[in-house]
Amino acid sequence: MNIKIAVLASGSGTNLQALIDAPDLGAEISLVVSDRPGIVALDRAHDAGIESAVVPYGEYGSRAEFCSALNEVADGAGVEALVLAGFMRVLDGGLVSAWKDRILNIHPSLLPAFPGADAVGQALEHGVKVTGVTVHFVDEKVDHGPIIAQQSVPVLPDDDRESLHARIQIEEHALYPRVVSAFARGRIVVDGRRVRWE
């Protein structure tokens, strides 16, 4: 039986769309959660007939209150995992420990290189020849938890932020559904910082 997941997004939601379109995800996207109204990811959820919820970050007095509201929404939907897809908020320790090894994130670099919001720009600025995509479990630190899968992407001489991010996103859209599908089938085992695929 498919597990139920929530996808959390803050923007255009192309990774959400890749998960929606995946032919054999093994997971039912029961809920899409956004931290602000009016984003394209919410339209994608609507078009796919998926329930959505907005938990507006600005309306909470603290990160802890925001995260506790997120927790309630996810619990209420009966989901077993939170899949972050371009979700631009840092989750607090309470939420992370309540969902230990059940929060996934996708990041546009080969972590631990270039954590944070501008991974693509930093890779260009640093002059690396290879960057990529990382899918990892979320822990208390930003872009830091155990790494589940990575895919490299070459940096081309004429790349700018847009062209490089576009090629990274092609890999993201292939990798995230594969990882979520393996996770949903119980094939991903965490052992400290190391993750095994079974």
Q: Which residues make up the interface to ligand GRF (CB under 6 A)? A: 9, 11-15, 85-86, 106-108, 169, 172
Give the integer Cα–Cα distance in Å for 177 and 79.
17
Q: How far is the CB of 172 from ligand GRF (least distance, A)?
A: 6
Residue nearest to ligand GRF (CB): 86
Q: How far is the CB of 154 from ligand GRF (least distance, A)?
A: 17
Residue 192: both structure tokens together? 């400290």
Contacts of range 160-164, beta carbons closer than 8 Å, 24 or more positions apart: 160/124, 161/120, 161/121, 161/124, 164/120, 164/123, 164/124, 164/131
**61 vs 130, beta carbon nearer ligand GRF:** 130
**24 vs 162, beta carbon nearer ligand GRF:** 162
- Which of 107, 136, 165, 173 is catalytic? The answer is 107
**15 vs 30, beta carbon nearer ligand GRF:** 15
Active site residue 173: no
3-state class of 178 per DSSP?
helix
Give the CA angle between residues 150, 101, 18 to the nearest 5°. 50
Residue 133: both structure tokens together? 């995509």
Q: How far is the CB of 61 from ligand GRF (least distance, A)?
A: 26
* Catalytic site positions: 107
